[in-house]
Amino acid sequence: MPMICLSDFEAYAKKHLPKMTWDFFAAGADECCTRDDNLLAYKRIRFRPRMLRDMSVMDTRTALLGTEISFPVGIAPTGFHQLACPDGEKSTARAAEAMNTCYITSTFATCTVEEIAAAAPNGFRWLQLYVHCNRVLTEALVRRAEAVGFQGVVLTVDVPYTGKRRDDVRNSFQLPSHMAVKNFEGVFEKENCIEYGLPPNSIDPSLSWNDISWLQSLTRLPIIIKGILTKEDADLAVRHGVKGIIVSNHGGRQLDGAPATIDALIEIVDTVQDKAEVYLDGGIRTGSDVLKALALGAKCVFIGRPALWGLTYKGEEGLRKVLQILLDEFRLSMALAGCHNVSEIGRHLVQFSKL
């Protein structure tokens, strides 16, 4: 079957992955309202395309905190890539390097930060960070990532506790015995690692805004925070000196009933203005979705589940194909909307449907 759009990769992954793995990747919290609305929200946005603009020359490049990428789509942090392909995050890193874009590596990777850096030595990577209750483990991981060339730290702030994902509960989801959260390998050997490869309640629920300065004290790398959905928290983030904000609801896996990320984006962009860069994840499935997100103020978007579908299809090659399809669709959408480069993409380009 020819793979011509991201839904083709989704269908392939659903057919070929073990049910427990598919359910884990696909899961949303509770009734999955937020997960599903992440996709539906894009369908409520319409373009206002401009014509006769001489689209013979175009440029999809942008930059994240000063580092150029080939187009404004990166790879969001998701855990356990060896569930999708044998080389796991090493394949992900190679695909991102080949496509010249940013890969946010999960704390819950099935390869170490050192292995990931060695697999794609010229890649552009940020480390996604969960703060462990044992802060010494977190401090060591940040320093390890900085030492091997990671260029930013993405602090996830929407998981004081793990959301209730019903299929994972029904399936009693656990990592296969031959996989591990490799960045902490050997640390928890005498403990019962029943929650996503770690002991229960490993993530520190006491994390607060006061801890941003603690994290800043550990590293010279820029701090980006992931999981912001309101203008109030966006304002606090800027006041605490973060360099970037990822508008995210964790793919609908945390608080069910939280807004779709594209719906939350506008108030955050208006609050932050130029004091930090604003990115978005959740619900991106087409190049026109990317264009809509940029029109509403995102600097870049990040894909989560589609990256896992690409890895399932053909590892690094499959993920490169997913990214290439998004690049091609984004470029075509830009052309049909009359935008020569990303700086011409703005709110004038879209309107909200009454549907």
Average pLDDT over all residues of the chain: 96
How is 79-145 classified by DSSP, letter by letter?
S-GGGTSTTTHHHHHHHHHHTT-EEEE-TT-SS-HHHHHHHSTT-EEEEEEPPBSSHHHHHHHHHHH
pLDDT on residue 310: 98
Residue 124 pLDDT:
98
Q: Which DSSP letter does residue 290 get?
A: H
Q: Which two tokens stand for residue 162?
A: 């793990």
The catalytic residues are 250
Q: Residue 233's pLDDT is what?
A: 98
Ordered domains of the chain (ranges, CATH)? 6-345 (3.20.20.70)
Please state, for a pLDDT cut of 70, what percent of the chain lies above it.
Answer: 97
pLDDT of residue 142: 98
Distance CA 355, CA 352 (A): 9
In the predicted model, is pLDDT for residue 295 greater than 90? yes
Judge whether residue 203 has pLDDT over 60: yes
How confident is the model at residue 129, as a pLDDT?
98
Strands (E), the chain: 45-47, 62-64, 67-69, 73-75, 102-105, 124-129, 153-156, 223-228, 244-247, 277-281, 300-303, 350-352
Cα 114 to Cα 127, 138, 141, 178, 196: the distances in Å are: 12, 15, 10, 19, 21
Confidence of residue 198 (pLDDT cuts 50, 70, 90): confident
* pLDDT at res. 187: 80
CB atoms within 10 A of CB 171: 16
| Calpha distance 165→298 (Å, rounded) | 28
